[in-house]
Structures are given as structure tokens and as C-alpha cells.
């Protein structure tokens, strides 16, 4: 009885004392405001100290904004937004702060009324308007005002995210953004391509956006598409790379914010990537990891980009691929003791670790997610096929003597020796702190999965199932939750 009381006290003390170390941080800044009009002004201030010319678009006229960014770039102007019926207060203040003298309105009076024009003129501003009878004609009329280019970008006039994602690159290259619909090539666009003698076109979006019939009518077309708007943004970033020293992030569904983000990104020659409100999508994580992007400017308030996204962007594990291998499984129970089967402990900890790492922004791959069995060779092969940045094999220990206890981490010197040691040294103390177990240290051993995995690899022995003390801890769901958090913190620290 006394031994069980002692075990319980150890668990309670370790859980009370343990708090995972703060994740290492990337550099993240924010551009936000109380509404989209203020966000646009604040974004403009990031790119322009003064803006003699401003391109003004209706805050609800997303289609009008599609062609705005390349045109505004050639005018040396930011893109600002306004209400339809009256000049927005934030926009009026922004025009004054930017010392604007000239405003070019894109869109008809349904987007920006004549009352807004009168208000602008009352500020002693020069005002002109480019419009069309529909979004397709407007885009063509905007392109007519741009310098001639041998290339144009074609997007679906309702696929706002596609246009936003390509806009910074199109702007830097001087390419107009022209619109069509899902039915075929719009005549307004076809006429512009002919009149401007465009020789090459970049189509953004799949065949549901720009169908094959339209595609075949375009001059020397190439297509950039993806399963969703995030994959499209990633493929644009890979095909037409921009700088990533200050990568812009915007909600892929907050079109007003995304348009002004594209304007500022174009001004600075930076990449623009899209996210959703709650979490950085996997496709975006991959490009962040592959390009080693570490500095971000997030555009939008907490209603469009939540703090969970900011937290992920700050974490060095963002975009890294972590292979998690729960040891044993199925007919191979592993160590057995004190009512515990090692295979179950390993899987439970691994699933909790996967959840923590995904929440932190990592890409995770597991050798198994249920009570199945893979050979050691298969586990190594799966890690290689996943292109993993690190390999973590999770185990529990056993000994003929019940007094043996504690936590230890193994690495092998065959491949990636220095980084494997570094990873082990980051994870081991976090596990010990999480569990309150005896620290058995970092050791070398030729266990198959870490000997033959070529990426940095470690094997964790979380505790002894044959030890009454360790077994009591490993039976605790709360302890395993904190263990997973500790391992995740160690992995994050490794990527600093």
C-alpha cells in the first residue's frame, strides 16, 4: 500500500511541477484594424511612407479588386477600399496620412458611388474612374491602361483566391490579370488579348475554373492548378518564386484583406501565401518547410486569422515532417508488466504526440495508427518515403528486476549522428520533466530503426512497464498527455 501511495505522490508532484518549455519562435508581425478599410490603410502604410496616387476599390467588390494589383503596381500606388455609398472614415484618414493627390477608382457606380467621388473631390483630390459593364470588361479596360506585355494571366472571375495568389508575381512582371468564366473564354478577354498582341498566357485554376475549350483558345497557355486554393498558392510560389524574407499571409476566404495583402506583397517583391482562419493548411506548411520560411507578416484581424494560426507561424516546427513510430503492435506486444502492454502504451503516446505536433504546425506521418504490425525494415522504409525530417520511435522498457526504472533516449551514429544526438538531447530532459521519472540519460545503441534511418533519428524508452513506479505513471492519461507535450517541445527546440 505504501508503495502505491508513494507512486501516486510522485505522479501528482511531477504533473504539478511540469510545464512544457515555450516553443521556439519564428518572426511574425501583424497588420490589422477594426475593419477591412483600416486594415487596407495599415497595409498601405507598411509599403508606402507617402502615396501620391491610390487605387480605390469597393470594399465588397471583390471582382473589381482582382485586376487592381498589377495596375496599381505600375502606378506606384497601394490598393485601398471604401464603402459603396460613402467614403469610409479610415480610408479618408489614410488618404490624408499618405498625402495622396490622385485617386483612381476601379469599378462602376454600383461599387463606388458618385457621392464618394464628390467626397474625394472635396478633399482637393484628382479623381478618375476605370469601369466596364461587367467584371470582364472592367479587367480588360484596366489592362488597356497598363504598359504592353507579351504575357497575361487568366483566372475565373469568381475564383477570387486564384487571382490574389498570382497577383504579386503578375504585378512584378507587368502582366495584366484578365477574367473569364467557367463556360468558356469571354469575348471581352479574347478581344483584349488580340488587341494587345499577347503571345503567352498563364492560366490559374483547374478545368472547373477555366475549361479546356477556353484554354485551347489562349495563346501559348500554361496552367497552374491544385486540389484547392492553398495548393494553387503553393504551386504559384514554387513555379514563380518571389522573395520569402517577409512572407505575407492572408485568409484565403477574406478576399478584401487578401487583395490589399497582395498589393503590399507586390510592392516589396514578397511571396503571398494563404491560410484558413483556424490553422495553417498542410499544403502551405509544406512550402514553408521546403523553403525554410521563418519571417511572416499576417494581414487581418483575429476574426479572419485566429491566434492559433499566429502560434503555428511562430513555431520552428512549422512545416517540418515528423515521422512517429509506435514500437511493436498486433501479435508483437513488446514488454509486458503491471497490467501494461508496451504496444498499447507506445501507440497511446504516439497518437497524443501526433496531435501536439500537428497543433504546433508540423506535418506528421505515423508508421501505424492502430494495433497493426510492421517489420523494422518497413518502418524505416515508410520514414524514408515520407521524406521525414526526423524519425522518432516510441517504446517502453522492461527489466527482470522490478527496481529498474527511469526514462532514456537512444541514438545511433551511423547516419546524421550530430543531429540525432542534438535531437536526443532536446527531447530527453523534456520527457524526464514531464513524467518526473529517473533520468537515465542519452545513450547510443544500434537499434534497427535508428541505425538504418538516414534522417536524424531517436528511440525513446519512456519508462519501465516492469517498474511499479513507472507503470503507475504510464497508466495515467494525464501523464501521457504531458509526456506528449514534452516530446513535442523538445522537437520544436531541435528545429531552432
Q: What tens digit of pLDDT does each residue of 361-402 get?
A: 999 999 999 999 999 999 999 999 999 999 999 999 999 999
- pLDDT greater than 80 at residue 220: yes
Residue 10 pLDDT exceeds 50 = no
CB atoms within 10 A of CB 3: 10
The reported pLDDT for the residue numbered 416 is 97
SS3 assignment, position 491:
helix
- pLDDT digit string (tens) for 270-285? 999 999 999 999 999 9
Instruction: Single out the catalytic residue among 137, 231, 342, 461.
Output: 461
Question: At residue 23, does pLDDT exceed 50?
Answer: no
CA 190 to chain centre: 36
What Å distances lie between residue 331 and 73, 336, 338, 373, 398, CA to CA?
64, 13, 19, 7, 18
The reply to whether 60 belongs to the active site is no
With 0.85 as the threshold, say if the pTM is over it. Answer: yes
The CA distance from 35 to 26, in Å, is 27
For residue range 291-333, list pLDDT tens digits in order: 999 999 999 999 999 999 999 999 999 999 999 999 999 999 9
Q: What pLDDT, on a 0 to 100 scale, did the predictor assign at position 66?
A: 87
220 and 200 in contact (C-beta within 8 Å)? Answer: yes
What is the pLDDT of the chain when averaged over all its residues?
A: 94
**What is the share, in percent, of the chain residues with pLDDT greater than 90?**
93
DSSP string, 152-167: EEEEETT-HHHHHHHH
> Do the beta carbons of residue 244 and residue 270 sit within 8 Å?
yes
Can you give the pLDDT at residue 4? 41
pLDDT at 12 over 70: no
* Mean pLDDT, range 128-142, rounded to an integer: 97
Which pLDDT belongs to residue 3?
41
Residue 459: its pLDDT value, please? 98
Whether 16 shows a pLDDT value over 50: the answer reads no
Statement: residue 14 has pLDDT above 60: no
Whether the per-residue pLDDT at 219 is higher than 60: the answer is: yes
Q: List the 390-397 sheet strands across, edge first.
A: 363-366, 321-326, 390-397, 457-464, 407-411, 439-444
Question: What band does 473 get if pLDDT is binned at 50, 70 and 90?
Answer: very high
Render pLDDT for 396-418 as a digit per residue (tens, 0 to 9). Answer: 999 999 999 999 999 999 999 99
265 pLDDT band, cuts 50/70/90, is very high
Chain mean position to CA 417: 30
Residue 288 is predicted with a pLDDT of 97
Over residues 337-356, the mean pLDDT reads: 98
- The stretch 132-138 carries a mean pLDDT of 97
Residue ranges of the domains in the chain? 2-25+319-494, 27-314
Residue-wise burial string across 230-257, b where 16 or more C-beta atoms lie within 10 A, e elsewhere: bbbbbbbbeebebebebbbbbbbebbbb
Res 11 pLDDT > 80: no
195's enclosing H/E stretch is helix 187-195
Backbone angles phi, psi at 325, to 5 degrees: -115, 100
Q: Does domain 2-25+319-494 fall into CATH 3.40.630.40?
A: yes
**How confident is the model at residue 95, as a pLDDT?**
98
- Is the pLDDT score of 212 beyond 60? yes
Helix (H, G, I), strand (E, B) or coil at 178: strand
In whole angstroms, give the CA distance from residue 51 to residue 100.
Answer: 5
CB 78 within 8 A of CB 264: yes
pLDDT at 22: 41
pLDDT band (50, 70, 90) for residue 496: confident
CA gap 457, 473 in Å, rounded: 25
Amino acid at each position: 500500500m505504501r508503495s502505491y501511495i508513494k507512486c501516486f505522490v510522485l505522479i501528482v508532484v511531477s504533473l504539478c511541477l511540469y510545464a512544457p518549455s515555450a516553443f521556439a519562435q519564428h518572426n511574425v508581425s501583424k497588420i490589422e484594424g477594426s475593419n477591412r478599410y483600416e486594415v487596407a490603410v495599415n497595409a498601405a502604410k507598411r509599403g508606402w511612407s507617402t502615396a501620391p496616387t491610390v487605387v480605390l476599390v469597393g470594399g465588397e467588390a471583390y471582382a473589381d479588386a482582382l485586376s487592381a494589383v498589377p495596375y496599381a503596381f505600375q502606378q506606384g500606388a497601394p490598393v485601398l477600399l471604401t464603402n459603396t455609398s460613402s467614403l469610409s472614415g479610415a480610408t479618408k484618414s489614410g488618404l490624408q496620412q499618405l498625402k495622396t493627390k490622385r485617386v483612381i477608382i476601379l469599378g462602376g457606380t454600383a461599387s463606388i458611388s458618385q457621392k464618394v467621388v464628390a467626397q474625394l473631390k472635396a478633399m482637393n483630390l484628382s479623381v478618375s474612374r476605370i469601369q466596364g459593364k461587367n467584371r470582364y470588361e472592367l479587367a480588360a479596360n484596366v489592362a488597356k491602361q497598363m504598359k504592353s506585355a507579351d504575357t497575361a494571366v487568366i483566372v475565373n472571375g469568381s475564383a477570387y483566391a486564384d487571382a490574389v495568389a498570382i497577383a504579386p508575381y503578375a504585378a512584378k512582371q507587368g502582366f495584366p490579370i484578365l477574367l473569364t468564366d467557367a463556360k468558356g473564354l469571354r469575348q471581352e478577354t479574347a478581344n483584349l488579348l488580340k488587341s494587345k498582341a499577347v503571345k503567352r498566357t498563364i492560366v490559374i485554376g483547374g478545368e472547373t475554373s477555366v475549361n479546356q475549350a477556353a484554354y485551347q483558345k489562349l495563346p501559348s497557355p500554361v496552367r497552374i492548378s491544385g486540389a484547392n486554393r492553398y495548393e494553387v498558392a503553393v504551386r504559384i510560389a514554387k513555379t514563380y518564386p518571389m522573395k520569402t524574407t517577409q512572407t505575407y499571409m492572408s485568409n484565403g476566404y477574406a478576399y478584401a484583406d487578401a487583395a490589399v495583402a497582395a498589393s503590399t506583397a507586390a510592392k516589396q517583391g514578397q511571396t503571398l501565401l494563404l491560410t484558413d482562419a483556424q490553422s495553417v493548411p498542410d499544403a502551405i506548411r509544406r512550402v514553408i518547410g521546403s523553403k525554410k520560411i521563418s519571417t511572416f507578416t499576417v494581414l487581418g484581424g483575429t476574426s479572419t486569422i485566429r491566434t492559433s494560426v499566429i502560434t503555428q507561424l511562430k513555431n520552428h516546427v512549422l512545416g517540418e515532417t515528423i515521422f512517429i513510430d509506435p514500437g511493436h503492435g498486433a501479435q508483437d506486444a513488446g514488454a509486458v508488466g503491471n497490467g501494461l502492454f508496451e504496444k498499447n502504451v507506445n501507440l497511446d503516446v504516439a497518437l497524443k504526440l501526433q496531435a501536439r505536433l500537428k497543433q504546433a504546425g508540423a506535418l506528421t506521418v505515423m508508421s501505424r495508427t492502430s494495433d497493426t504490425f510492421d517489420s523494422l525494415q518497413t518502418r524505416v522504409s515508410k520514414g524514408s518515403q515520407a521524406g521525414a525530417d526526423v524519425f522518432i520511435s516510441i517504446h517502453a522498457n522492461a527489466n527482470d528486476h522490478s527496481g529498474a526504472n527511469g526514462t532514456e533516449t537512444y541514438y545511433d551514429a551511423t547516419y546524421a549522428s550530430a543531429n540525432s544526438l542534438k535531437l536526443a538531447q532536446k527531447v530527453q530532459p523534456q520527457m524526464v520533466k514531464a513524467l518526473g521519472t529517473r533520468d537515465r540519460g542519452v545513450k547510443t545503441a544500434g537499434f534497427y530503426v535508428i541505425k538504418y534511418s538516414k534522417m536524424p533519428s531517436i528511440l525513446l524508452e519512456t519508462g519501465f512497464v516492469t517498474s511499479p513506479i513507472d507503470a503507475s505513471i504510464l497508466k495515467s492519461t494525464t501523464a501521457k498527455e504531458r509526456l506528449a507535450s514534452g516530446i513535442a517541445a523538445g522537437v520544436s527546440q531541435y528545429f531552432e
